[in-house]
Chains A and B, each alone.
Chain A
């Protein structure tokens, strides 16, 4: 099986679609057209490749973790998205969307952010391309990710508090969509994960597939083929979709590590919110529940529709990880390898630490989606 393009209606099996107010439908259709044409245009591709190489620092290396491998009894490889400019995988998608927005004649970017990594990446691209930038962030997240708030402002962006609901990522998405409804003519919504209405889940995955494509080659060199297991943390699911895309047609076991307090796939109830049909944490009446995770970037009650499809078809499995396990994994990687992971990425580490008995002697490629600098303050409070 491969991760195929969605139908023209934006469907991955039963999931996906374009559940947005009429005001936004023409913008989504226009974006779909613009992306199709850009993605098929060699000059767009080479401009993006050039930026990824000279600005973001790609390709990102794969690091073989000798100490951790010994400790866990499996061969651990890290795909180092933490080494990208701005410190996470988010820059891949943002450079693609900003370039596309420019091509479409848009002058402003609006984005939502949870941990602030997508917000920082968007603010960075806006600075680079001389565009205006507005970032919505939940009040709770503004508090726990102060450093990233300051970085966004430093980069020239406006950061607006999303004060409704749970005041986290879900509400930041609501506010960003409301803003987009009001400013759709000159503003591009730079969505930060493989969620939202068509074409976002597909487009964002395509902008991140560079992770999987590179890793496939790197694993060929290191292992002589695909690893036995590929694991990534899953909030909306963009870093996971990017790395899965490189291995979906191999025998590798694909694993998404979900926060136990935000396990949309684990609960497996379909729902419609933020533009698509997917698995969604909700009550018996369809009211969306608030996720609860130590990591702001995974604190989201839904998941991208393609992941729901991969789960429903059995191609990927999604496993819960608790906050306590994440705290352990955060320290584990720091101490054994000298790499401080983002709390989000620590979910993937925590999963293999939990599941190591099942995979003794196997090769495990972990997508290290981001670095942990942004989380050091929060961890200091927790650990001291």
Chain B
């Protein structure tokens, strides 16, 4: 069965549009949930909500700082899930965190909680195919979409297996590196998007190193859309508030729609 994220992204693509999935760190500031709502209204097709982890190895300084601040304020995974349970966001959501946060609560319990909370997907950057079984079994059972990563270093033979296991979308990593805004789009972004698009019909979104509306448009010439994280989180860290963050998301939306 196709989940809510994949359904929403396919709908956008079928309309000839490009998908926009912003990432926000949960628990960052008292108004983070309002920011999620505002971002939904500003044209996000789905939203990634980060559950902060003490040791986020795939993340650069911006999202590291967001994790630290959120944890410093006492955020727990349960607090984020509880907040999302009561929220009417209007677009599907995915939780993005690291393996140990899920493992500690229990693969099944965490996936069941996501499902009970109305969160559609889950993204775990330190769980590659080789280690995915416990997680995907629990997620499949709970009806949670398992977003999987494809990287510039992934050999061709891995890509079909990654795509087949992926739910929601395939997350194509745009460059060799960690999250963060870069001055230019890496050539690897177009390359990996093309390689994954060639072997799957599932939505293929490029994330990591997509930091400006122009870069989003550039990579969406090949990809079905983008995940934008650090640029948005930086706005949150700067104290832009729900409106300020929504404004940036809207700039991405307008650029992608143009």
Contacts and interface: CB of A to CB of B under 8 A. Distances in A.
A and B co-occur in one complex: yes
Interface in A169-225: 170, 174, 177-178, 181-185
Interface stretch (B1-9, B127-135, B138-146, B212-220): B127-135
A343 interface: no
Contact of B100 (A170, A178, A183, A286): A286
B115 to A, nearest CB: 20
A282 to B, nearest CB: 7
B54 A23 contact: no
B72 to A, nearest CB: 11
B136 to A, nearest CB: 14
A9 B130 CA distance: 8
A26 B130 CA distance: 11
Contact of A184 (B58, B64, B176): B176
Given A26-B155, A181-B176, A165 B55 contact: yes
- Mostly, the A contact residues are mixed
Interface centre among B78, B100, B102 (most CB of A within 10 A): B100
Contacts of A275: 126
Interface centre among A25, A270, A271, A274 (most CB of B within 10 A): A25
Nearest to A198: B130
Contact of B178 (A9, A18, A178): A178
B173 A22 contact: yes
Contacts of A23: 149, 151-153, 173, 176
A27 interface: yes
B101 A174 contact: no
Interface string B86-107: 0000000000001111111100
A285 B67 CA distance: 14
Contacts of A9: 130
A21 interface: yes
B101 A19 contact: no
Nearest to A17: B131
B244 interface: no
B117 interface: no
Given A22-B162, A26-B154, A282-B104, A287 B128 contact: no
Interface centre among B60, B98, B129, B131 (most CB of A within 10 A): B131
Contacts of B64: 164
Interface residues of B, number: 41
B160 interface: no
A24 B176 CA distance: 10
Interface centre among B68, B150, B176 (most CB of A within 10 A): B176
A20 B149 CA distance: 11
Nearest to A276: B131
A264 interface: no
Interface in B173-188: 173, 176-178
B169 to A, nearest CB: 14
A183 B176 CA distance: 7
B252 interface: no
Given A23-B152, A272-B99, A170 B127 contact: no
B168 interface: no
Given A21-B58, A170-B55, A272-B103, A27 B153 contact: yes
A282 B148 CA distance: 26
A34 interface: no
Contact of A181 (B58, B71, B162): B58
A167 to B, nearest CB: 12
Contacts of B105: 285-286
Contacts of A284: 104
Nearest to B152: A23
A19 B68 CA distance: 22
A19 B99 contact: yes
Contact of A285 (B58, B101, B126, B150): B101
Given A23-B153, A174-B55, A286 B131 contact: no
B53 interface: yes
A22 B76 contact: no
Interface of A: 9, 17-27, 164-165, 170, 174, 177-178, 181-185, 270-275, 277, 280, 282, 284-288
The 5 closest A-B pairs by CB, nearest first: A286-B104, A23-B151, A182-B177, A22-B149, A286-B100
10 contacts: A17-B130, A20-B126, A22-B149, A23-B149, A174-B57, A270-B103, A271-B103, A272-B103, A285-B76, A285-B78
